[in-house]
């Protein structure tokens, strides 16, 4: 084995490191001795490493929540809600909804009298004259055209034999959604 001589400055550096290690060993020995004797209040200065450590831990926690639990946590004025990730097939279905169709449904909802018709039908099927009594400010032909719009998008269905108008399942859902969105926006505006 060939022994190579180290450069002088490096040899000096090594010497310093050895001294520092000996010093640290001495400190560790002292700490161990004091701990063994039951003395409390040991202070070890680890400086910026605390910050780095906390940051690493938080990052891991965040990754864990997102990657493994597949949940989102929404903290709002009314408390904490945990929103689970939807299964992939549901997301695909949502993407498949054509925007013109969405616009058509939203357009049917976007009229005060049509919303009023839906609200009236929420309490049960009604004949056109019953609806006319509730919406006396519009003519029968206007009412009929509103009902036609709602029927075309599937929010309302008419019994062809009896003539009654009924709100459909999507109709109820759409009316509730419209109210919820409005309430949500109103609350936000108040905040």
Build a one-symbol-per-residue string for 20-59: x at contacts with another protein by CB under 8 A, - elsewhere. Answer: ----------------------------------------
Instruction: Tell me whether residue 37 or residue 160 sits nearer to another protein (CB atom).
Output: 160
Q: How many residues bind another protein (CB under 8 A)?
A: 16
Output the CA–CA distances (angstroms, integers) from residue 187 to 83, 176, 182, in the order listed.
21, 16, 9
> Positive or negative CA dihedral for 143, 149, 150, 151?
positive
Q: In this chain, which of 125, 135, 138, 178 binds another protein, going by CB under 8 A?
A: 125
Residues 136-175 that bind another protein (CB under 8 A): 157-162, 166-173
Tokens of 114: 């049509």
Rounded Cα distance, 73 and 20, in Å? 49
Q: What are phi and psi of 117, to 5 degrees?
A: -60, -45
* 113 touches another protein (CB under 8 A): no
Rounded Cα distance, 45 and 24, in Å? 13
Q: How far is the CB of 134 from another protein (least distance, A)?
A: 19
Binding site residues, another protein, CB under 8 A: 124-125, 157-162, 166-173
């Amino acid at each position: 084995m060939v022994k190579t001589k180290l450069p002088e400055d490096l040899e000096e550096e090594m010497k310093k490191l050895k001294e520092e290690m000996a010093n640290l060993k001495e400190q560790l020995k002292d700490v161990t001795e004091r701990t063994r004797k039951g003395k409390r209040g040991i202070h070890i200065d680890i400086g910026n490493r605390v910050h780095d450590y906390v940051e690493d831990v938080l990052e891991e926690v965040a990754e864990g929540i997102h990657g493994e639990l597949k949940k989102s946590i929404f903290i709002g004025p009314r408390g904490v809600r945990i929103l689970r990730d939807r299964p992939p097939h549901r997301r695909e279905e949502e993407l498949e909804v054509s925007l013109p169709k969405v616009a058509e449904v939203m357009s049917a909802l976007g009229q005060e009298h049509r919303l009023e018709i839906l609200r009236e039908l929420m309490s049960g099927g009604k004949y056109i004259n019953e609806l006319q009594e509730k919406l006396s400010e519009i003519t029968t032909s206007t009412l009929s055209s509103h009902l036609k719009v709602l029927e075309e998008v599937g929010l309302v269905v008419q019994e062809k034999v009896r003539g009654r108008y009924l709100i459909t399942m999507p109709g109820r859902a759409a009316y509730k959604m419209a109210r919820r969105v409005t309430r949500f926006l109103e609350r936000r505006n108040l905040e």
